[in-house]
């Protein structure tokens, strides 16, 4: 799908056409004039989506030894549970930042003793994520 962009560089405008590769194609929406009010349409409730069995709440308050978030973002996946044995460089969480998925990995071998985030939670850089002893 070709997309057109107008780009201004040093006060000079350029019209650029680019082909979008990968990703999910977006439907183009044409602006529509406001319509006259109609009777409300009743829709069925969406079916619930099952989430993996991961603790829904943080397991314990974070101490000074907790791993912290390297950047602001949203927790997309929690790949371990409290009590799991982990090895150095094993992925623990998936953190979405600027539309990119980033793995947070274990810094050492040990046992997960605390999860301090939940799925979908927004975190800032330096917020406690997980504790490994």
Among 55, 123, 105, which residue's Cα sits nearest to residue 83? 55
Residue predicted with more confidence, 75 or 32: 75
Hey, which bits of the chain come out as E strands?
2-9, 12-19, 67-68, 73-78, 85-86, 91-97, 100-105, 110-115, 122-123, 128-132
| Global pTM exceeds 0.85 | no
d(CA 33, CA 11) in angstroms, rounded, equals: 34
The DSSP code sequence of 29-57 is ----PPPPP-PPPP-PPPPPPPPPS--SS
pLDDT of residue 123: 92
Residue predicted with more confidence, 8 or 80: 80
Longest dimension (CA), the chain: 64
Question: pLDDT tens for residues 73-87?
Answer: 999 999 999 999 999
**Structural domains of the chain, with CATH:** 67-132 (2.40.50.100)
């Amino acid at each position: 799908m070709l997309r057109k962009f107008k780009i201004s560089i040093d006060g000079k405008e350029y019209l650029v056409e680019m082909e979008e590769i990968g990703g999910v194609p977006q439907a183009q929406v044409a602006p529509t004039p406001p319509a006259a009010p109609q009777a409300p349409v009743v829709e069925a409730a969406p079916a619930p989506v099952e989430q993996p069995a991961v603790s829904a709440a943080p397991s314990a308050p974070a101490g000074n030894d907790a791993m912290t978030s390297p950047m602001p973002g949203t927790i997309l996946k929690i790949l371990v549970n409290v009590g799991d044995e982990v090895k150095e460089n094993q992925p623990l969480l998936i953190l979405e930042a600027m539309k990119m998925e980033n793995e947070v990995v274990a810094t050492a071998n040990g046992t997960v003793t605390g999860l301090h985030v939940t799925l979908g939670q927004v975190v800032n850089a330096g917020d406690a994520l997980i504790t490994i002893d």
